[in-house]
């Protein structure tokens, strides 16, 4: 019934899967890890834009001991998140297994402070529902869920990966100056600014403003503070701007466009197994697809192959 081999191991493994999924869905975001032990909150990793450093910390030895203090964690996190510029969305996710919280002061004040700084706090509990967590989530607009078992816990955790809808007043829109570095020349030897190690230019990127060598993207240049990204990072979010229209369900008719095969995967659309012959059709290009292609197109590919295979006048 309880988490095997230990709650800590299960939480660390699910957190690793969450971090990978999170960076997949939010390529320009930053994540940091904080632990609560013996009533004190420690920073496990710095807030960073790449998953590797976070995952390395999770794979290390994590020990549990002592009481947990929700207030200390909130104070620490508030301190870090106050440095984030106004266009960023601030969120805290607690993975909470304790049944109480031992705080040095008034936790209600801390919750008010979080609410004022617009930090959205969510909690996933592993034990039972606690009033203070529920109150925290309700006040700050987060979600509180309690996991029933390991697979349910993973499901609840992955639900937090896609970005929540943002309220317009909370995040002011800004034009952010960013750099798009190129890979350095092969024969250039320099010291990378993140690890202070000697690297050949071809393995790193050169900041366009201060010409310093950085190892990975996205990152912030340590010398001049310019945010450095590559165009694929921004392109990862473009499918939200140009979504694929939902397909209509239709039944098979003789002589329909494309014959009796799915346009995407060439599978036959006629089921001889007695199931009703419904499949889907794109309302823009009128090509017919099977249900599996429909799911793949809308969840992962974000392109309709039919619309892309046509040269319409809007191109």
Partner 1 sequence: MTSAHSKLYSDDVSLVVVVVDTNPFFWAGAALPFADFLSHVLHFVNSLLLLSNLNHVVIIAAGVSSCAYVFDSGNAGASGAADVAETLGKASRKMEEFIKQDARETASNGTVADGGAASLFSGALSLALCYIQRIFRSGTRHPQPRILCLQGSPDGPEQYVAVMNSIFSAQRSMVPIDTCIVGTQDSAFLQQASYITGGVYMKPQELSGLFQYLAAVFATDLHSRTFLRLPKTLGVDFRASCFCHKKTIDMGYVCSVCLSIFCKYHKKCSTCGIAYAEHFP
Q: Which of 82, 100, 266, 268 binds partner 1 (CB under 8 A)?
A: 266
R_g of the chain computed on alpha carbons: 24
Q: How far apart are CA 85 and CA 78, in angstroms?
A: 13
Beta strand 189-191 with 219-220: parallel, antiparallel or unpaired? unpaired
Q: Which of 142, 179, 204, 218 binds partner 1 (CB under 8 A)?
A: 179
Asked whether position 226 contacts partner 1 by CB under 8 A, the answer is yes
Asked whether position 310 contacts partner 1 by CB under 8 A, the answer is yes
Q: What is the DSSP letter of 144?
A: E
Asked whether position 218 contacts partner 1 by CB under 8 A, the answer is no
Q: What is the DSSP letter of 163?
A: P
Burial annotation 41-63 (CB, 10 A radius, 16+ → b, else e): beeebebbbebeebbebbeeebe
* Residues 86-105, mask of contacts with partner 1 (x by CB under 8 A): xx------------------
Asked whether position 211 contacts partner 1 by CB under 8 A, the answer is no
Q: Which stretch binds partner 1 (CB under 8 A): 91-99, 118-126, 131-139, 259-267?
A: 259-267
Asked whether position 17 contacts partner 1 by CB under 8 A, the answer is no
Asked whether position 297 contacts partner 1 by CB under 8 A, the answer is yes
Residue 8: what are its φ and ψ, rounded to 5°? -60, -45
| Cβ contact 180:199 at 8 Å | no
* Residues 230-249, mask of contacts with partner 1 (x by CB under 8 A): xxx-xxxxxx-xx-------
| Cβ contact 118:142 at 8 Å | no
Residues near partner 1 (CB under 8 A): 24, 28, 86-87, 171-183, 186, 202, 208-209, 226, 229-232, 234-239, 241-242, 262-267, 292-293, 296-297, 300-306, 308-311, 313, 315
């Amino acid at each position: 019934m309880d988490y095997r081999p230990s709650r800590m191991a299960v939480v660390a493994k699910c957190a690793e899967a969450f971090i990978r999924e999170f960076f997949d869905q939010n390529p320009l975001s930053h994540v940091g890890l904080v632990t609560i032990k013996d009533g004190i909150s420690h920073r496990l990793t710095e807030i960073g834009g790449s998953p590797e450093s976070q995952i390395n910390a999770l794979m290390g030895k994590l020990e549990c001991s002592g009481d947990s203090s929700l207030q200390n964690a909130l104070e620490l996190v508030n301190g870090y998140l106050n440095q984030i510029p106004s266009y960023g969305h601030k969120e805290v996710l607690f993975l909470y297994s304790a049944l109480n919280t031992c705080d040095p002061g008034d936790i209600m004040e801390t919750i008010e402070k979080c609410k004022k700084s617009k930090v959205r706090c969510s909690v996933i509990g592993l034990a039972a529902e606690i009033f203070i967590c529920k109150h925290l989530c309700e006040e700050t607009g987060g979600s509180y869920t309690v996991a029933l078992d390991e697979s349910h816990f993973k499901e609840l955790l992955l639900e937090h990966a896609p970005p929540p809808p943002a309220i317009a007043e909370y995040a002011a829109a800004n034009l952010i100056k960013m750099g798009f570095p190129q890979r350095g020349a092969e024969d250039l030897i320099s010291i990378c600014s993140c690890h202070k190690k000697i690297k050949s230019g071809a393995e790193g990127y050169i900041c366009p403003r201060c010409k310093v060598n950085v190892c990975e993207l996205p990152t912030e240049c340590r010398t001049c503070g310019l945010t450095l990204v590559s165009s694929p990072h921004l392109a990862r979010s473009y499918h939200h701007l140009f979504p694929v229209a939902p397909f209509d369900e239709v039944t098979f008719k003789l002589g329909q466009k494309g014959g009796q095969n799915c346009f995407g995967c060439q599978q036959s659309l006629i089921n001889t197994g007695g199931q009703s012959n419904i499949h889907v059709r794109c309302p823009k290009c009128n090509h017919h697809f099977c249900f599996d292609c429909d799911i793949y197109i809308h969840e992962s590919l974000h392109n309709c192959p039919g619309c892309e295979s046509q040269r319409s006048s809007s191109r």
